């Protein structure tokens, strides 16, 4: 425990001096902190900042989120991916409004009842917003703790996860016993500082590649550093090989309008808009004939646009993009709408299709206030 106390007090002192000044760290509003945590789960801090400001401007209270139309929600989330997170936030906001009088709960038990809230998010809201003595472990914290204690297993495995949560709990307990703690405008109380310090250390010092151990406040306690074995931790099992997929996307124009379709219920990213797309065989390399047959137009009327590549979970996706002018809607496309540039600006598109829109029909802004 003496060592845990040293680690905790080192982290608190370090955070007060070195923490990044992030907008949600000035918030004492549990809702704003919660939104930032959900946005940060897949995305870098610098990307999240403008999204968070825009969200909080348009939906400043949990009641505003509960009542927001789906199109507004998707537009505010456009580009962050994992749209189910935005939808879960809204479902949870409705529960908070209906059963907690609009106040975000402060206990882990109540928080875990909310849609989309798992142990990490519950720990983050309880400790960061309410300074409750609750631990949390995310990817950054897992990296710090596996190195600190030379934990051999893969942090994604349940047994290793349990070990890491137990170390995080020891640090919270040690923090509770500190006689004096520093204060900062960037956190509300000792438990908030401790958890944010662990996450911040993982994000800025104890990084996956080339960690800056010479600047680390807990170097003296770090077992991996003392053993010269930092690179061995965390022991992540190799990821499964990515599956390659290839699609053709067609940007169709008719009388100054563009044809888009909305993803239906049950689809990944349902509710989002996109240009028509067709899954291609990986061979042959030239998809023009396949696309022309699909749309029942001549191959010559298809003009290639820059190819777009992106990755989603374990898929590596290549989009072969074509543009064509037509005078009627191809039968194969089914439901969809012919839309003006301005109408497209107001819709939520998947990131890849927003990129295509930018290439094909400028000006279409990625973010609108």
Cite the active site residues: 37
Q: Are the beta carbons of 106 and 165 closer than 8 angstroms?
A: no
Of 55-63, 70-78, 184-192, 224-232: span binding ligand SF4 (CB under 6 A)? 224-232
- Taking Cα atoms as reference points, which of 304, 320, 296, 306 lies closest to residue 248? 320
Residue 80 is a binding residue for ligand SF4 (CB under 6 A): no
**Min dist. Cβ of residue 120 to ligand SF4 (A):** 20
Residue 205 is a binding residue for ligand SF4 (CB under 6 A): yes
Beta-carbon-side half-sphere exposure of residue 15 (alpha carbons within 13 Å): 31
Of 25-33, 208-216, 279-287, 306-314: span binding ligand SF4 (CB under 6 A)? 208-216
CA torsion sign, 190 to 194 to 199 to 204?
Answer: positive
Residues 112-151 that bind ligand SF4 (CB under 6 A): 144, 147-148
Residues 156-195: x where in contact with ligand SF4 by CB under 6 A, - otherwise, as a string = ----------------------------------------
Residue 72 DSSP SS3: helix
Copy the structure tokens of residue 196: 């944010």
**Min dist. Cβ of residue 126 to ligand SF4 (A):** 25
Nearer residue to ligand SF4 within complex by CB, 147 or 188: 147
Question: For residue 337, what are the β-bridge partners?
Answer: 260
Copy the structure tokens of residue 215: 């600047």
d(CA 82, CA 303) in angstroms, rounded, equals: 32
Which of 108, 111, 218, 295 is in the footprint of ligand SF4 by CB under 6 A?
Answer: 218
Nearer residue to ligand SF4 within complex by CB, 4 or 89: 4
Which of 111, 216, 321, 349 is in the footprint of ligand SF4 by CB under 6 A?
Answer: 216
Residue 222 is a binding residue for ligand SF4 (CB under 6 A): yes
**Min dist. Cβ of residue 187 to ligand SF4 (A):** 20
**Min dist. Cβ of residue 230 to ligand SF4 (A):** 4
Question: For residue 303, what are the β-bridge partners?
Answer: 323
**Min dist. Cβ of residue 36 to ligand SF4 (A):** 24
Nearer residue to ligand SF4 within complex by CB, 48 or 145: 145
Residue 14 is a binding residue for ligand SF4 (CB under 6 A): no
Other CB atoms within 10 Å distance of the CB of residue 21: 9
Copy the structure tokens of residue 140: 């950054």
Residue 224 is a binding residue for ligand SF4 (CB under 6 A): yes
Beta-carbon-side half-sphere exposure of residue 310 (alpha carbons within 13 Å): 14
Nearer residue to ligand SF4 within complex by CB, 129 or 142: 142
Of 44-52, 126-134, 223-231, 346-354: span binding ligand SF4 (CB under 6 A)? 223-231
Which residues have CB under 8 Å from 105's CB, separation 6+?
96, 111, 114
**Min dist. Cβ of residue 157 to ligand SF4 (A):** 21
Copy the structure tokens of residue 81: 């991916």
Bin 293: left if φ > 0, else alpha if -120 < ψ < 50, else beta.
alpha
**Min dist. Cβ of residue 353 to ligand SF4 (A):** 40
Nearer residue to ligand SF4 within complex by CB, 68 or 206: 206
Strand pairing report for 243-254 and 257-262: antiparallel
- Taking Cα atoms as reference points, which of 335, 357, 349, 365 lies closest to residue 253? 357
Other CB atoms within 10 Å distance of the CB of residue 241: 8
Binding site for ligand SF4 (CB under 6 A): 144, 147-148, 205-206, 211, 213, 216, 218-219, 222, 224-225, 230
């Amino acid at each position: 425990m003496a060592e845990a106390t040293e680690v905790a007090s080192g982290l608190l002192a370090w955070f007060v001096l070195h923490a990044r000044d992030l907008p949600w760290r000035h918030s004492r509003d549990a809702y704003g902190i919660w939104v930032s945590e959900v946005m940060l789960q897949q995305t870098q801090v610098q990307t999240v900042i403008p999204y968070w400001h825009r969200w909080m401007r348009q939906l400043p209270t949990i009641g505003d989120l509960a009542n927001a139309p789906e199109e507004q929600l998707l537009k505010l989330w456009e580009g962050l991916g994992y749209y189910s997170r935005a939808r879960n936030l809204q479902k949870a906001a409705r529960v908070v409004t209906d059963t907690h009088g609009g106040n975000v709960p402060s206990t882990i038990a109540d928080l875990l009842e909310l849609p989309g809230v798992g142990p990490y998010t519950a720990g983050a809201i309880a400790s960061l917003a309410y300074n409750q003595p609750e631990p949390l472990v995310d990817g950054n914290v897992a990296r710090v703790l596996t190195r600190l204690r030379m934990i051999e297993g893969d942090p994604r495995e349940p047994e290793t996860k349990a070990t890491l949560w137990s170390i995080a709990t020891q640090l919270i307990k040690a923090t509770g016993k500190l006689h004096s703690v520093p204060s900062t405008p960037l956190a509300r109380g000792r438990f908030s500082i401790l958890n944010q310090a662990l996450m911040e250390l993982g994000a800025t010092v104890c990084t996956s590649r080339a960690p800056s151990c010479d600047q680390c406040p807990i170097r003296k306690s770090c077992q991996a550093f003392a053993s010269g074995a930092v690179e061995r931790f965390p022991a992540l099992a190799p990821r499964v090989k990515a599956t390659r997929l290839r699609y053709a996307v067609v940007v169709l124009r008719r009388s100054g309008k563009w044809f888009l379709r909305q993803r239906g219920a049950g689809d990944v990213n349902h509710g989002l808009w996109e240009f028509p797309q067709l899954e291609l065989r990986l061979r042959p390399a030239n998809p023009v004939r396949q696309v022309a047959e699909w749309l029942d137009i001549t191959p010559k009327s298809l003009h290639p646009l820059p190819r777009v590549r992106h990755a989603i979970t374990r898929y590596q996706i290549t989009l072969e993009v074509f543009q064509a002018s037509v005078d009627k809607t191809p039968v194969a496309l089914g439901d969809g709408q012919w839309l003006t540039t301005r109408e497209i600006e107001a819709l939520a598109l998947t990131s890849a299709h927003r990129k295509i829109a930018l290439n094909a029909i400028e000006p279409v802004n990625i973010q609108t206030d």
